[in-house]
């Protein structure tokens, strides 16, 4: 029974994983508009859980992380970014495609409890769309990217900006984490946020409120760092955390065509059509013999001369072999002579042994008084070999 159950179990896992691999989500999005897709942990959780467990009424809420890449590539396409704050949060794919085309995105979900993985494939087709000529970028200080990407929050932000722009026709173009634009990681304290840049675009020209940010006075106030007051009637922020920084508004007017770069000016070396190319005369041949002389022959001669000179010093000017032998003989003779002398000296010294020994070598010599004891039979057992020299009154010493 158990074997059968596990077989059934593996079959269902196989089927689920087969289904998971087959699941392909097709998306069609326009060029130049913000794309966001929330990777819901719930849907991936279903892939992890065998159906049998689901029927048993057990539901898990596993921590999960996602790995995203373009199929057959190590990373996502340049325009697409992924973010997930925490394994217990949903992940987001977002970005703004700038050219048409098709991207196949693989998303692997890793269950951090069981370390199972599952895969989902997204086929994102980017289609042409008219570019919005008027664009503006706002900075929202009290937000983090994951909190802004859910469509509900995007809607709230858009509503405020629609009022500010005084038009309904507003499109989200880009949402960027301030950290990706040189922002600093905030302190891990309440009230400190990374900040988010939101770019929107419209067919309609900027409103008066937006134009006020272009005034010279506005720029001066902002660079002075003073707390800049939002001009009256322009504060449309309904939710405090969605309020934009009035000093960080940037307007882009793409309707003004940039002057086309001037056509390249033709240089002088361009041939007329139908004329054959006449190559220039080859340069006159050059005589390399003097160069050869200077670079090869002269150093060679110098080297040979030096060689000969060295050979002469080494062999010609050296003392001859016979001379050298004579010299060694001489040294040997000298050695012989000194050995003789030394032996004679030693013999003489040995001959003088009969003479009286120096006083200090006598056993009974008193170094202080200079007295000397009569010669003693040193091998007599009655006399100690060492006398108490520090005692001048000792009986053993004879007195005069």
Name the segment binding ligand NAG (CB under 6 A); options: 84-92, 171-179, 241-249, 358-366: 171-179
How many C-beta atoms surround the C-beta of residue 366 within 10 A? 15
To ligand NAG, the closest distance from the beta carbon of 275 in angstroms equals: 48
Which tokens sit at 70? 């373009």
C-alpha dihedral sign at 350, 352, 356, 358 = negative
Site string for ligand NAG, 77-106 (x = CB under 6 A): -------------------x-x--------
To ligand NAG, the closest distance from the beta carbon of 271 in angstroms equals: 43
Cβ proximity to ligand NAG: between 193 and 365 the closer is 193
- Give residue 15's Cα distance to chain centre: 44
Cβ proximity to ligand NAG: between 96 and 242 the closer is 96
Name the segment binding ligand NAG (CB under 6 A); options: 55-63, 176-184, 269-277, 310-318: 176-184
Distance, CA of 359 to CA of 172 (rounded, Å)? 125
To ligand NAG, the closest distance from the beta carbon of 210 in angstroms equals: 18
Compute how many residues bind ligand NAG; rule: CB under 6 A: 8
Distance, CA of 122 to CA of 38 (rounded, Å)? 12
Q: Which residue, 215, 27, 41, is CA-closest to 122?
A: 27
Site string for ligand NAG, 178-207 (x = CB under 6 A): --xx-----------------x--------
Cβ proximity to ligand NAG: between 164 and 175 the closer is 175
Cβ proximity to ligand NAG: between 45 and 96 the closer is 96
Site string for ligand NAG, 219-258 (x = CB under 6 A): ----------------------------------------
Name the segment binding ligand NAG (CB under 6 A); options: 104-112, 119-127, 174-182, 365-373: 174-182
Exposure pattern of 116-139 as b/e (b: 16+ CB <10 Å)?
A: bbbebbbebebeeeeebebbbbbb
To ligand NAG, the closest distance from the beta carbon of 239 in angstroms equals: 23
Distance, CA of 300 to CA of 291 (rounded, Å)? 14
- From residue 182, alpha-carbon distances to 179, 186, 194 in Å are 5, 12, 11
With CB under 6 A as the contact rule, the residue among 176, 202, 213, 242 that binds ligand NAG is 176
Name residues contacting ligand NAG, limited to 38-57 (CB under 6 A): none
Name the segment binding ligand NAG (CB under 6 A); options: 11-19, 162-170, 175-183, 266-274: 175-183
Which tokens sit at 234? 């322009």
Which tokens sit at 272? 């007329």
Cβ proximity to ligand NAG: between 18 and 254 the closer is 254
- From residue 292, alpha-carbon distances to 301, 302, 335, 348 in Å are 13, 15, 63, 82
Which tokens sit at 76? 């996502």
Name residues contacting ligand NAG, limited to 96-155 (CB under 6 A): 96, 98
Cβ proximity to ligand NAG: between 11 and 127 the closer is 127
- Applying CB under 6 A, does 208 fall inside the site for ligand NAG? no
Burial class (CB in 10 A: 0-12, 13-18, 19+), 56: exposed
Residue 385 CB contacts under 8 Å (≥ 6 apart), including other chains: 363, 378
Residue nearest to ligand NAG as judged by C-beta position = 174
Residue 67 CB contacts under 8 Å (≥ 6 apart), including other chains: 107, 108, 110
Distance, CA of 213 to CA of 313 (rounded, Å)? 94
Name the segment binding ligand NAG (CB under 6 A); options: 84-92, 142-150, 157-165, 172-180: 172-180
Interface with ligand NAG by CB under 6 A: which residues? 96, 98, 173-174, 176, 180-181, 199
């Amino acid at each position: 029974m158990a074997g059968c159950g596990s077989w059934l179990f593996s079959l269902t896992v196989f089927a689920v994983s087969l289904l998971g691999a087959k699941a392909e989500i097709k998306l069609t999005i326009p060029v130049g508009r913000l794309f966001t897709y929330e990777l819901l942990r719930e849907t991936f959780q279903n892939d992890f859980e065998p159906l049998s467990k689901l029927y048993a009424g057990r539901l898990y809420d596993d921590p999960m992380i996602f790995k995203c890449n373009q199929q057959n590539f190590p990373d996502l396409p340049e325009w697409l970014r992924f973010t997930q704050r925490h394994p217990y949060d949903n992940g987001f794919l977002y970005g703004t495609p700038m050219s048409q085309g098709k991207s196949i995105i693989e998303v692997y979900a890793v269950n951090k409890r069981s370390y199972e993985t599952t895969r989902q494939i997204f086929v994102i087709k980017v289609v042409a769309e008219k570019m919005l000529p008027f664009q503006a970028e706002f900075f929202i200080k009290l937000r983090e990217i994951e909190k802004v990407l859910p469509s509900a929050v995007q809607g709230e932000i858009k509503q405020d900006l629609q009022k500010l722009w005084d038009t309904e026709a507003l499109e989200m173009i880009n949402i960027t984490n301030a950290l990706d634009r040189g922002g600093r990681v905030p302190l891990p304290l309440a009230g400190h946020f990374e900040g988010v840049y939101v770019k929107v675009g419209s067919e309609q020209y900027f409103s008066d409120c937006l134009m006020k940010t272009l005034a010279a006075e506005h720029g001066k106030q902002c660079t002075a760092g003073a707390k800049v007051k939002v001009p009256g009637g322009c504060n449309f922020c309904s939710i405090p955390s969605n309020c934009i920084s009035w000093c960080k508004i940037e307007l882009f007017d793409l309707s003004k065509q940039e002057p086309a770069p001037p056509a390249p000016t033709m240089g002088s070396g361009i041939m007329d059509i139908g004329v054959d190319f006449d190559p220039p005369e080859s340069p006159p041949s050059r005589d390399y013999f003097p160069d050869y002389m200077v670079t090869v022959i002269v150093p060679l001669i110098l080297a040979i001369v030096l060689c000969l000179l060295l050979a002469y010093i080494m062999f010609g000017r050296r003392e001859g072999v016979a001379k050298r032998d004579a010299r060694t003989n001489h040294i040997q003779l000298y050695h012989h002579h000194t050995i003789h002398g030394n032996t004679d000296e030693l013999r003489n010294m040995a001959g003088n042994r009969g003479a009286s020994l120096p006083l200090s070598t006598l056993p009974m010599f008193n170094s202080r008084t200079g007295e000397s004891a009569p010669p003693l039979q040193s091998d007599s057992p009655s006399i100690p070999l060492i006398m108490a020299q520090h005692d001048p009154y000792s009986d053993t010493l004879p007195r005069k």
